């Protein structure tokens, strides 16, 4: 009985702590979080530019005009001035060959290009500084080009989508068991290290078949953890960012009206209802973790009626009208979740391109969504913050 008093006090203390924690969690889950514009950059430019990277430290950004017969690299500052323009594509001694990822700013006066010839470093005036060739011949797969879709640096290496061809084909049942979706790229040695596997409970380990690149990962690196969503699968998995790259946790994403392809019993390259899911299935496009929040960009996917209509025969005019309607009906969206995966907001960011999110020096930047009906002679980027609304 002499221990009853201290025991009761301990129970009351634990109850109070639990109540406080529950209250804090409730406050987080009931708090709506949205975007606020903090800063912007305007570049006067007539054309179809693709922004590759920006650096708040040097206050520089790099963009390209991708054309069939030329690729012009442009270096601009945050005041909107274009400082240099040059080409490293085609028949020039210091060409990168075929570009396999977005250009990446390295420091105050240089950037790196990951191309079929290796890792090439240039200064902001276009002078070639170094070349590190690939250890193994590269496979030019489906590297993603543009802001928000590039390599992510950590401790001198870059994390990127694994473009190395597998020794098995996609129509074999064990393709996804052997696939390594991500790889470390070492721009100082030319080596690459494919890492991680799909978890046992992933849809890609269900024994079903999926369309090409359905697994293409959206990923981010935070505090020695890799957070990744495998394409169409609405789950954020976290892995240790160092060997043995163990799976730490998973968070299912309860995204509003998210419709995605669940897999097929057989693999096909001719059935439009199989490979055509690449256009109709929901997909996670980008992930960022800011403080205690996940910011997710995603395409929600078509509903059943629009999916069915997408696979019917149409005249060119009918197809154009259909996809104009679809483009407006299913815009890319932003979901904001707390650290436990609870939704605190979901919205279409007005005037912003959700998949262009990039974190640099702790700052979140996004491209302005262009007005497709009006030809503009400029483009803009916005620095975006998270704002809590009770």
pLDDT digits (tens, 9 = 90+) for 279-315: 999 999 999 999 899 999 999 999 999 999 999 999 9
Distance CA 387, CA 166 (A): 44
Upstream peptide bond of 244 is cis (omega within 30 degrees of 0): yes
Q: Residue 170's pLDDT is what?
A: 66
Q: Residue 378's pLDDT is what?
A: 95
Query: What DSSP state is assigned to residue 166?
Result: P
Contact 364, 385 (CB under 8 A): yes
For the entire predicted model, the pTM comes to 0.89
Strands (E), 67-177: 71-77, 82-87, 104-107, 110-115, 118-123, 128-132, 152-154, 157-161
Written out in words, the top-level CATH class of the domain with range 31-389 is mainly beta
The mean pLDDT of the chain is: 88
Of 73, 37, 49, 75, nearest to 146 by C-alpha is 49
Where are the chain's structural domains? Answer: 1-30, 31-389
DSSP states along 117-148: TEEEEEETT--EEEEE--SS---------STT
Cβ-based neighbour number of residue 290 at 10 Å: 19
Greatest mean pLDDT among 25-29, 166-170, 191-195, 370-374: 191-195
Q: Tabulate helix, strand, coil % of the chain (nearest 5).
A: 15, 40, 45
14-36 burial, b for 16+ CB within 10 Å, e for fewer? eeeeeeeeeeeeeebeeeebbbe
Q: Residue 252's pLDDT is what?
A: 96
Q: Residue 373's pLDDT is what?
A: 72
Cβ-based neighbour number of residue 338 at 10 Å: 16
Given a cut of 70, is residue 268 above it in pLDDT?
A: yes
Q: Residue 87's pLDDT is what?
A: 95
Least confident residue range of 40-54, 148-162, 169-183 = 169-183
Least confident residue range of 22-26, 247-251, 302-306, 309-313 = 22-26
Q: Residue 139's pLDDT is what?
A: 67
Q: Residue 168's pLDDT is what?
A: 55
């Amino acid at each position: 009985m002499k221990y009853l008093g201290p025991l009761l006090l301990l129970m009351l203390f634990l109850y109070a702590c639990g109540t406080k924690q529950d209250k804090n969690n409730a406050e987080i889950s009931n708090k709506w979080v949205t975007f606020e514009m903090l800063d912007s950059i305007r570049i006067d430019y007539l054309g179809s530019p693709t922004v590759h990277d920006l650096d708040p430290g040097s206050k520089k950004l790099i963009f390209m005009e991708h054309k069939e017969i030329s690729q012009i690299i442009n270096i601009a500052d945050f005041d909107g001035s274009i400082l240099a323009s040059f080409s490293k594509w085609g028949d020039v001694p210091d060409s990168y060959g075929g570009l396999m990822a977005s250009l990446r700013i390295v420091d105050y006066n240089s950037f790196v290009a990951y191309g079929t010839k290796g890792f090439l470093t240039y200064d902001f005036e276009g002078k070639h500084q170094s070349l590190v060739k690939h250890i193994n011949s590269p496979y030019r797969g489906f590297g993603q080009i543009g802001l928000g879709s590039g390599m992510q640096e950590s401790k001198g290496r870059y994390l990127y989508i694994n473009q190395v061809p597998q020794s098995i084909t996609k129509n074999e049942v064990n393709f996804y068991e052997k696939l390594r979706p991500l790889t470390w790229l070492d721009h100082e040695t030319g080596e690459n290290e494919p890492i991680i596997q799909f978890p046992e409970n992933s849809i890609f380990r269900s024994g079903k078949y999926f369309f090409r690149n359905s697994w293409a990962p959206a990923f981010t690196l935070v505090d020695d953890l890799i957070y990744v969503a495998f394409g169409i699968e609405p789950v954020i998995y976290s892995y240790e960012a160092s060997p043995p790259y163990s799976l730490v946790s998973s968070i299912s994403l309860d995204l509003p009206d998210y419709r995605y392809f669940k897999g097929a019993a057989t693999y096909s390259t001719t059935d439009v209802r199989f490979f055509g899911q690449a256009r109709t299935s929901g997909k996670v496009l980008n992930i960022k973790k800011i403080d205690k929040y996940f910011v997710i960009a995603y395409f929600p996917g078509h509903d059943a009626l629009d999916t069915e209509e997408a696979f019917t025969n149409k005249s060119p005019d009918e197809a154009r009208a259909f996809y104009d309607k679809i483009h407006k009906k299913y815009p890319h969206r932003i979901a904001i979740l707390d650290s436990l995966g609870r939704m605190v907001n979901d919205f279409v960011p007005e005037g912003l391109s959700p998949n262009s999110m990039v974190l640099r020096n702790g700052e979140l930047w996004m491209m302005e969504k262009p007005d497709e009906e009006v030809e503009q002679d400029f483009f803009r980027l916005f620095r975006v913050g998270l704002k809590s609304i009770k």
